[in-house]
Structure formats: C-alpha cells, structure tokens
Structure 1
Amino acid sequence: MNYNIKKEDIQKYNEGTVINFPKYTSQLINWANQNAQGTRPRIVGQLSELFPEFLNNECDISIDNWESWYTNRYPDSIELATDKIYAQVENLKEAIKLIDHELVRQWVQDLVITKTYNGLYVQRAILASLAEKLHTDYRLASPNEESKGIDGFVGHTPYSIKPITYKTMDRLPEIIEIKMIYYTKTNNGLNIEVEEK
C-alpha cells in the first residue's frame, strides 16, 4: 500500500499545536527570516543534529519534552531569533509603504526587459569588458562573420563566446579556428576564461 501524509496531518498525528496564521503573514515572516537569518545554527543551534540527539537520549518522546530539552540547551534562542526577525519585519513594513503601482511597473519592466536581456545576452558585456582590460575597442560580428563562428572582435582579434559547458558537450564536429572565450554564470555575474593561443 502506498499513500502520502500531508504536513498538517503529521502535525496532527504528532499532537502538535496547529497555528492558523492570518493570510500572507507566514510567507512574510519567512521572507523576513531569510533576510534576518534569525533561525541560523549560530542562533538556534543545528536542529538537524539536536533533534536526533534528543531522540537518542530521551525515553519519553513528546513535543513538550522536546521543548524542555531544547530550551535547557538554548535558553535564549527563541527570543534572539524572534527579535532578529521582528526587526526585519519592521523594515519590510517601511518598505511596503514605498511600493505603489508605478514602482511595481518599474520592477516588472526591470525583470522582463533589463534582467532578461542582461542575463541572456552576455556577448556584448564580455567583449566590452575584455576590450576595457586590453585598452582597446570591440565590435560585434557581422552576420557573415557569425556564420564563421565569430561572435565579435576585441581590437583585431576575433572571438567565439561559449558557456563553459561547451567544452564538455558532445557536439557536431565544429572547427572554430579563432580564440575562445568561455563563461560561467554565477550569482554575482559571470566568470570569464579567455583562451590563450
């Protein structure tokens, strides 16, 4: 027999108190916590290690005993986490006052147009940054040059620009007789590797 147990049912079966948070409040508190980092291990301990320790060392496994066991070891952690998260909630309250229809429109415009363009079209940024480092100019390839595998020029040097995964891809035999630039997208931008020939 196969079946699923919903999260709320696990709580019910474990005889935990079910708190019905008002609409959106749990999401906002969670978001505030992500920014405040109020429930990080340095504040509340490494719960994935503490709970198994509790299970291994206690005979009477209940939510009340878990609470007692935990608070004996981390007596101030709930208050510390609460204070950190609440301070961030206050920041969010102030930020929400600044959000009007026009600001939402600007945010959508930035996401759909600017961030999409900058996130998906990296050739120009890579060529411009390399040209700046080499103290020269750059240009994008013409359609005729593109048909030869060239994405652009830095000075008089032609380059083909590919994601780093291109190095390991099984691909059609493609001979590119020009310098390669490989890039990796990161959370902070791009890592660039310029091939030396």
Structure 2
Amino acid sequence: MKEGKIKNSDLKKAIVTNAPEFPKYTTQLLNLANQNSQATRPKNVGQMTELIKEFDGNSLEEWRKWYKEKHPNAIDNATQKIADMIEKLSKAMQQIDEEMIQAWVEELIITNTYSGLNFQEAVLKKIAKSKNKPFSPATPQDESKGIDGYIGNKPISIKPKTYKAKKGLNEQIDVEIVYYEKLKTCIKFKYDF
C-alpha cells in the first residue's frame, strides 16, 4: 500500500483557522434541515465545483467577496430555508414521545426487516431465474460488506429506491446494486448486469 503526505505549508490556502465552533448535536440538526429543505443545492447556491474553477483569487476573503458578488442572495435565501425547516423539525420533535419511539423502533426492526429480507430474496430469485443461474443468500460477513446475496458467483446488493436519496449513509458498496420499489401491485426493480 502506498502512502503520501502533504505539508500544512502547502495547504495554506485550504486551512481555515477561524471557523466557528458549534454546540454538540447542532450541526447534525442543521445538516438534516439542510437536506430536507434542499437549501444548498446547486439550483439555490450555484454549482460549487464549477464556481471554484471560475474563481481566480488566492484567499478565503477574496473567495467570500467574489461568491457574494456572483450570488448576492444565495446565503440569505439558504439560511431562511434552513431556519424554516429547523422550526418544522422543532415542532415535530415536540410530538415525539416514548410510545412513538417504540412504534418506530418496532417498525424498523420487525416490519421493515421482514419485508426487506423477503423482497431481497424475491428479487434474487427472479433475476437468477432470468439468467438461468442459481442464487444464494449472503453470509453475515458478506452483509457487513453490503452484499445481500449471489447470482451464480456474482455478489449483489439489493436496496430500496429510496436508498439513493439517503446521502447521510456512510456505507460504501463495491458490488452491483439492484434498486427496487414496492408498488401497490408489485415490486419493480432495475439492474445493469
């Protein structure tokens, strides 16, 4: 395995020493509010990877000035969208009690597990049959790698279509993923292998 180093002196443009400190848990809530409100999506604040390419300055302050001239209302608009969502989340938090938490945990552990595992097996069987290959379920070691089963020798992950939207998940799956959607009359799924 190869390793590399970059000296702090070579990163002087990237290191910010006066970043604000936030109280515990607040950034998690702000991130959730931002995701739900979509306040900092490119349509609202610009495509950052493209904007930074256009920027020809050399400091954080130059970037701040340049960005605010290019998108004068973006930060205020994003702030308002997030503030509105925080208010909605706050009202929702006030409705949560232990009974609701227990119902949610039971649905997650009992209902969703039962349904999800049955959907996975059904999808594996259907694809395996269409490819005239055997299927097998994953082992616990496979599951820790995001593998839900095999079609022949090919490892497969099977996820609900909503999984794509869950950007907060820190899971990396290095196998083919089949996305399914539960409709009223069927399970619809897509795959590219």
Same fold (TM over 0.5): yes
CA deviation profile, 1:21-63 (whole Å, cap 9, x unmatched)? 1000000000011000000111100001001210xx33xx100
By how many angstroms is 1:18 displaced? 1.8
Inter-CA distance 185–70: structure 2 relative to 1 (3 Å threshold):
closer
User: 1:133 aligns to what?
Assistant: none
By how many angstroms is 1:20 displaced? 1.0
By how many angstroms is 1:80 displaced? 0.3
Secondary structure, aligned partner of 1:116: helix
5 Å-filtered alignment, 1:117-136, equals 117-122=114-119
Letter in 2 for 1:52: K
Alignment partners' CA distance in 1, 2:28 and 2:7: 22
5+ unaligned residues in a row in structure 1: which ranges?
Answer: 127-159, 173-182
5 Å-filtered alignment, 1:84-123, equals 84-122=81-119
By how many angstroms is 1:102 displaced? 1.1
User: 1:25 aligns to what?
Assistant: 26
CA deviation profile, 1:148-184 (whole Å, cap 9, x unmatched)? xxxxxxxxxxxx9824366458648xxxxxxxxxx98
5+ unaligned residues in a row in structure 2: which ranges?
Answer: 136-157, 163-180
Task: Count the aligned residue pairs.
Answer: 142
Inter-CA distance 169–39: structure 2 relative to 1 (3 Å threshold):
farther
Work out whether residues 45 and 78 of structure 2, in 8 Å CA contact, stay in contact via their aligned partners in 1. yes
By how many angstroms is 1:122 displaced? 3.4
The higher radius of gyration belongs to 1
Asked if 1:2 is matched to 2:4, the reply is: yes
Identity %: 37
By how many angstroms is 1:86 displaced? 0.7
CA deviation profile, 1:95-145 (whole Å, cap 9, x unmatched)? 00011111111110000001111111139xx8xxxxxxxxxxxxxxxxxxx
Secondary structure, aligned partner of 1:15: coil
Inter-CA distance 71–185: structure 2 relative to 1 (3 Å threshold):
closer
Alignment partners' CA distance in 1, 2:107 and 2:6: 41
**Cα root mean square deviation, aligned:** 3.5
Inter-CA distance 13–71: structure 2 relative to 1 (3 Å threshold):
closer
Work out whether residues 185 and 191 of structure 1, in 8 Å CA contact, stay in contact via their aligned partners in 2. no
In the superposition, the TM-score normalised over structure 1's length comes to 0.61
Work out whether residues 12 and 18 of structure 1, in 8 Å CA contact, stay in contact via their aligned partners in 2. no
Alignment partners' CA distance in 1, 2:124 and 2:131: 15
Work out whether residues 13 and 60 of structure 2, in 8 Å CA contact, stay in contact via their aligned partners in 1. no
